A and B are shown apart, each in its own frame.
Chain A
């Protein structure tokens, strides 16, 4: 993956980079306290029109609470939410221009599929004939044309998920909220549905906000991801930004796998820093103005490198950052092989290797000596 332009997956869609763009949803100092604990803590963020925005975090990070605040199920303790220029404070859920797709789907068990989908339209007092047209369109959209008369319990999990989606889309809300939308689906179906959802979002031109704990799902689907922890947004960025330029140790560690070398800055030559790791290995890395530029000699710092950016070899390697150790674990995954290398200092380094030829995977085995190296620009100096 090229890391030069850390842009959006969708080419040329980047309203967040445009200072003149008006945010569609704005969280201003949003705080929600439950029993003395802040589930959302002074949170500020902007989300733009037609954006697919993912809230990514572990359970208890506050991502679901944020979604529920937006839907109106929870009332903020402090701060406010502005949606399309309108302050949402004091507006009950049933008058908000947002619809939610629930994690458990929350389909009405006593109503047929068609009635479930028509429910929201009925609340708006839409005429029956128009309602039926819209329901038929929605069923077609989720490819369930012939299932309108079924009851929810007569459908499979994947079909129920589609009904829930149709029901939340049919009112054409300004914002669609998706709470772990694919959580209950099996892997294969989940992958299919991921692409369907992004296509749908693009076609409908709606703003989607999705809560997920699955980073792969967030990376696949979202224009931007907000990584959440302890009720705060730790970093907002496009998937490549989040992965290649995590701003903190937490984000680097949370997204994907990473080797973090803690150490001390011992020398500086322009942008080239020398860090002595805690186990006494000097490593030469690139720092720049933003990352490591302000560090003094002797300061504690850390360097993060993703496993796929390390080279591994059964014979000694040349280069700036070479370490050697014993092959401790090997996991052959198919498209790649993942190694855990135990350095002489007992430290484990993770390396993954793309199996670009059929023989490459089998050259190293447990207990053998191996060498790893990485380029000075392979990783990032972490500020925290």
Chain B
């Protein structure tokens, strides 16, 4: 049987997603890239050149410079910000993984009838505004907040713990907010696993704990990798959580960017900050995927 398909339709079907990608990702990226190569100006919009007049495009193009990048490289404030962000994102990802994996495992091994309910519990927080949930943590963590009152009541501590406006609070906020993004892909990969594989391992002489490390964990790795990316990448650029819970002492890159953009009205420098952040995140991911593809092709 031969199925005849019109080539035109196929081209449209394939082309449409690319069009979306171009409009929603490539064009905004190019705008930010161009901004990062512009110079600050006392004008509206606050940069130059603007490429308003097609007649002067060539001149405008020659005005673009890498000065903003040099500026960022010179000032250790930015480098520090990047490093702090990467460190906080890294440890947040580790903590989220350590909490998320057992959670996903328990869900995947739960009786079939419970799974939709358990999944709903994981998704439930999304029904409330993110901002409100982060605010709620201030109420819990502040010196006279719920957590301290509870611990004082139990006589575990005799002085309220200072958690708000510390890195600890940022970690708690990020781990709490991003936990579903870790749990979901891990749950999906564990749930997909054929339970016969564990029976086969057991049949071949492997006790349950050993089977976990030789069968279950390796097979859940794609979920783990996806979960870690989903937590790490947004955590690096996180702004709301460090701003509300971390106070002024912890300067993550998201906050630096915000300050450049809104406080200093320096759109070009903040754009350059964003482009560098993008490179920091994208380059390792591309390299990682290359390595994975090569492994899979073996």
Hey, which bits of chain A sit against chain B, CB under 8 A? 71-73, 92-96, 98-100, 102, 104, 106-110, 119-120, 123-124, 167-168, 171
Segment of B42-50, B115-123, B205-213, B252-260 in the binding face: B205-213
- In the assembled complex, how far is the CB of residue B161 from the closest CB belonging to chain A, in whole angstroms? 44
Residue contact A108 to B203, C-beta cutoff 8 Å: no
Residue contact B199 to A94, C-beta cutoff 8 Å: no
B204 CB contacts on chain A under 8 angstroms: 94, 99, 119-120, 123, 167, 171
Residue contact B200 to A102, C-beta cutoff 8 Å: yes
A73 CB contacts on chain B under 8 angstroms: 199, 202-203
Interface string of B183-204 (1 = CB under 8 A from A): 0000000000010110111111
Partner pick for B200 among A95, A96, A98, A108, CB 8 A cutoff: A108
A98 CB contacts on chain B under 8 angstroms: 203
Residue contact A123 to B194, C-beta cutoff 8 Å: no
Task: Take A108-B215, A109-B219 as given contacts and tell me if A123 and B205 are in contact as well, using a CB distance cutoff of 8 Å.
Answer: yes
Task: Take A106-B194, A110-B219, A171-B205 as given contacts and tell me if A123 and B210 are in contact as well, using a CB distance cutoff of 8 Å.
Answer: yes
B196 CB contacts on chain A under 8 angstroms: 102, 104, 106
Select from chain A the residue with minimum beta-carbon distance to B296: A151
Hey, which bits of chain B sit against chain A, CB under 8 A? 194, 196-197, 199-207, 210, 214-215, 218-219
Ordered by A's residue number, 23 sampled pairs between the chains whose C-beta atoms are within 8 Å are: A71-B199, A72-B202, A72-B203, A73-B199, A73-B203, A92-B207, A93-B203, A94-B205, A94-B207, A99-B204, A100-B199, A102-B200, A104-B196, A106-B199, A106-B200, A108-B197, A108-B201, A108-B215, A109-B197, A109-B219, A123-B205, A167-B204, A171-B205
Residue contact A93 to B215, C-beta cutoff 8 Å: no
Inter-chain CA distance A185–B218, complex, in Å, is: 29
Inter-chain CA distance A71–B206, complex, in Å, is: 13
Inter-chain CA distance A231–B228, complex, in Å, is: 49
B215 CB contacts on chain A under 8 angstroms: 108
- In the assembled complex, how far is the CB of residue B63 from the closest CB belonging to chain A, in whole angstroms? 54
Residue contact B200 to A71, C-beta cutoff 8 Å: no
Inter-chain CA distance A106–B201, complex, in Å, is: 9
Closest 8 CB pairs of A and B: A120-B204, A123-B205, A106-B200, A106-B196, A93-B202, A94-B202, A100-B203, A110-B218
- In the assembled complex, how far is the CB of residue B213 from the closest CB belonging to chain A, in whole angstroms? 12
A110 CB contacts on chain B under 8 angstroms: 218-219
Task: Take A109-B219, A110-B219 as given contacts and tell me if A104 and B194 are in contact as well, using a CB distance cutoff of 8 Å.
Answer: yes
Residue contact B201 to A119, C-beta cutoff 8 Å: yes
Inter-chain CA distance A140–B202, complex, in Å, is: 25
Max chain B CB contacts within 10 Å: which of A72, A94, A104, A110? Answer: A94
Partner pick for B202 among A92, A108, A167, A168, CB 8 A cutoff: A92
Inter-chain CA distance A98–B200, complex, in Å, is: 11
Task: Take A106-B196, A110-B218 as given contacts and tell me if A99 and B203 are in contact as well, using a CB distance cutoff of 8 Å.
Answer: yes
Task: Take A108-B215, A109-B219, A110-B219 as given contacts and tell me if A100 and B200 are in contact as well, using a CB distance cutoff of 8 Å.
Answer: yes
- In the assembled complex, how far is the CB of residue A46 from the closest CB belonging to chain B, in whole angstroms? 23
B199 CB contacts on chain A under 8 angstroms: 71, 73, 93, 100, 102, 106
- In the assembled complex, how far is the CB of residue A305 from the closest CB belonging to chain B, in whole angstroms? 43
Inter-chain CA distance A163–B204, complex, in Å, is: 14
B207 CB contacts on chain A under 8 angstroms: 92, 94
A94 CB contacts on chain B under 8 angstroms: 202-207
B206 CB contacts on chain A under 8 angstroms: 94, 119, 123
Select from chain B the residue with minimum beta-carbon distance to A112: B298
Inter-chain CA distance A71–B196, complex, in Å, is: 13
A120 CB contacts on chain B under 8 angstroms: 204-205
A72 CB contacts on chain B under 8 angstroms: 202-203
Inter-chain CA distance A94–B203, complex, in Å, is: 5
Select from chain B the residue with minimum beta-carbon distance to A98: B203
- In the assembled complex, how far is the CB of residue B216 from the closest CB belonging to chain A, in whole angstroms? 11
B210 CB contacts on chain A under 8 angstroms: 123
- In the assembled complex, how far is the CB of residue A156 from the closest CB belonging to chain B, in whole angstroms? 19
Max chain A CB contacts within 10 Å: which of B199, B204, B207, B215? Answer: B204
B194 CB contacts on chain A under 8 angstroms: 104, 106
- In the assembled complex, how far is the CB of residue A49 from the closest CB belonging to chain B, in whole angstroms? 21
Max chain B CB contacts within 10 Å: which of A92, A93, A102, A124? Answer: A93
Inter-chain CA distance A98–B203, complex, in Å, is: 7
Inter-chain CA distance A96–B215, complex, in Å, is: 20
